[in-house]
Amino acid sequence: MRTTIAIVGAGPAGLLLGQLLQRAGIDNVIVERRSADYVLSRIRAGVLEQGTVDLLDSVGASQRLHAEGIVHHGFELLLDGRREHIDLDAGGVPVTIYGQTEVTRDLMDARAAQGGQTLYEVDDVAIGGVDGDRPWLDFTVDGVVTRLDCDYVVGCDGFHGVSRRTIPEGVLRTYERVYPFGWLGILVDTPPVNDELVYARHARGFALCSMRSASRSRYYVQVPTEERVDDWSDARFWNELRARLSPDLAERLQTGPSLEKSIAPLRSFVVEPMQHGRLFLAGDAAHIVPPTGAKGLNLAMADVGLLASLFDKAYAGGEPQALARYSELALRRVWRAQRFSWWMTSMLHTLPGLDAFTTRVHGAELDTLLASRAGRATIAEAYAGFPGQTLD
């Protein structure tokens, strides 16, 4: 088999890249380890920046998003019981609440409608030849060992994928912070407790009230990393969440049986550079942010938006050298998002062992920003998303 761009991973980054390339007339094939149903069963992000919505608009995969997504012009910080509203319009743009699962489904449908090729349930993907000018993918599909020759490989295969590990030792620099806690999340068919998202800082630990629709909510509480989901009955979860909310919100909270319950570890991670020879890394394959800033999915989409425009320059514009700048351009945005995600995480979570003085200083840091119009706008701008990086 032969294609122009071989994409590893059919998560949101791989699928969006496939659609952007189709639109630019650049042939591509996606190989995915899991089944389409499995990919659609993963409950993850819920907040889309305007830049992500614009990219989905550009590939014609946003009809349902505009019909069913909920536009939010702000969010709340709940600081030890005190409610503070952050106005996103102060930072310029709103965000859209629409589940990652739905984004993935819409991109899958758009790809199917265009006849784009995605191979699911592919095993043993191996990447070769990226140091030369004729790279390839080897994999097994339906028991048959197959080679896919291509011009370039893009690794959109997430944090545990094969692409990053293909790059020889010594080429990549890794920057990492692992937090000693995770998020226990549940999905439930009850109306959200509040019209906007609520990020709560509390002595018992962080909590987040989010949503997927007017009748479906997503709630999270901070738990120690070693905690087990089986030890958390629904009743225990609701009690803990209520304890971290203000009395008015706790009273309004509507509980119900969980549809899904899982624990996600929190990590900050970046590799530099995000490319090696003819292999490019995009999305979670290259970087992870803790979810507190709602940036992971948005960064993944911004990476492939940039990469697709560079491929277009290379093929339609006859400037293949433009691709050499991918990593440098992408990393500027990545580090700004890392900073914000780390900051939100540090300010809002209880860090085991953190001294009382630093805990007080964090409270004062939040108060300082919230007392200032410029401070509030800084938070709003970062949450709503940074402008994309372009060559110009």
The reply to whether 306 sits near ligand RFL by the rule CB under 6 A is no
370 closest CA partner among 60, 25, 80: 80
72, 94, 261, 320: which is the annotated catalytic residue? 72
Task: Choose between 18 and 46: whose C-beta lies nearer to ligand PHB.
Answer: 46
Nearer to ligand RFL among residue 272 and residue 365 (C-beta): 272
- Active-site annotation holds for 72: yes
Confirm if 293 and 381 have CB atoms less than 8 A apart.
no
The verdict on whether 220 is a catalytic residue reads: no
What, of ligand RFL, ligand PHB, none, does residue 33 touch, CB below 5 to 8 Å by kind?
ligand RFL
State the binding partner of 161 from ligand RFL, ligand PHB, none, CB within 5 to 8 A by kind. ligand RFL
Q: Pick the piece of the chain touching ligand RFL (CB under 6 A) from 40-48, 108-116, 168-176, 312-320.
A: 40-48
Does residue 156 interact with ligand RFL by CB under 6 A? yes
Determine if 192 is a binding residue for ligand RFL (CB under 6 A): no
* From 202, 295, 349, 362, the catalytic residue: 295
Q: How far is CA 136 from the centre of its chain?
A: 28
Chain position carrying tokens 């790059």: 167
Query: Contact between 238 and ligand RFL (CB under 6 A)?
Result: no
Q: Which residue bears the tokens 């992971």?
A: 296
- Residue 295 catalytic? yes
| Residue 218 partner contact from ligand PHB, ligand RFL, none using kind-dependent CB cut-offs of 5 to 8 Å | ligand PHB
Closest CA to 184 of 242, 212, 241, 223: 223
155 binds, among ligand PHB, ligand RFL, none (CB under 5 to 8 A by kind): none
Which lies closer to ligand RFL via its Cβ, residue 96 or residue 246? Answer: 96
24 binds, among ligand PHB, ligand RFL, none (CB under 5 to 8 A by kind): none
Alpha-carbon span 145 to 124, nearest angstrom: 9
Comparing every residue's Cβ against ligand PHB, the nearest one is 46
Member of 21, 245, 297, 344 binding ligand RFL (CB under 6 A): 297
d(CA 151, CA 132): 10
CB atoms inside a 10 Å sphere around CB 319? 13
- Which residues contribute to the site for ligand PHB (CB under 6 A)? 45-47, 197, 210, 218, 291-292, 294
3-state SS record for 23-57: HCCCCEEEECCCCHHHHHHCCCCCEECHHHHHHHH
CB of 291 to ligand RFL, least distance (A): 4
Marked catalytic residue, from 98, 287, 291, 313: 291
What is the C-alpha end-to-end distance of the chain, expressed in Å? Answer: 36
d(CA 66, CA 63): 5
Strand 275-276 to 144-149 pairing: unpaired
In the complex, the smallest distance separating the C-beta of residue 43 from ligand PHB, rounded to whole angstroms, is 8
When asked if residue 12 is in the footprint of ligand RFL (CB under 6 A), the reply is yes
Residue 207 binds what, of ligand PHB, ligand RFL, none (CB under 5 to 8 Å, by partner type)? none
Of 319, 326, 314, nearest in space to 21 by CA: 314
Least separation in angstroms between CB 309 and ligand RFL: 18
Active site residue 98: no
Among residues 18, 74, 291, 305, the one that binds ligand RFL under rule CB under 6 A: 291
In the complex, minimum distance from the CB of residue 39 to ligand RFL, in angstroms, rounded to a whole number: 5
Is 291 among the residues known to form the active site? yes
> Quick one: 41 exposed, middle or buried, by C-beta within 10 A (0-12, 13-18, 19+)?
exposed
By CB under 6 A, which span of 43-51, 273-281, 315-323, 328-336 interacts with ligand RFL? 43-51
Residues 40/128, Cβ–Cβ less than 8 Å: no
φ, ψ of residue 346 in degrees (nearest 5): -65, -40
Yes or no: say if 57 and 149 are a contact pair by the CB < 8 Å rule. no
Binding partner selected for residue 292 from ligand RFL, ligand PHB, none, CB under the kind-specific 5 to 8 Å limit: ligand PHB
Residues of the shown chain interacting with ligand RFL in the complex, contacts defined by CB under 6 A: 8-14, 31-34, 39, 44-47, 100, 122, 125, 156-158, 161-162, 183, 185, 264, 283-284, 291, 294-298, 300
Active site (catalytic) residues: 72, 199, 291, 295, 383
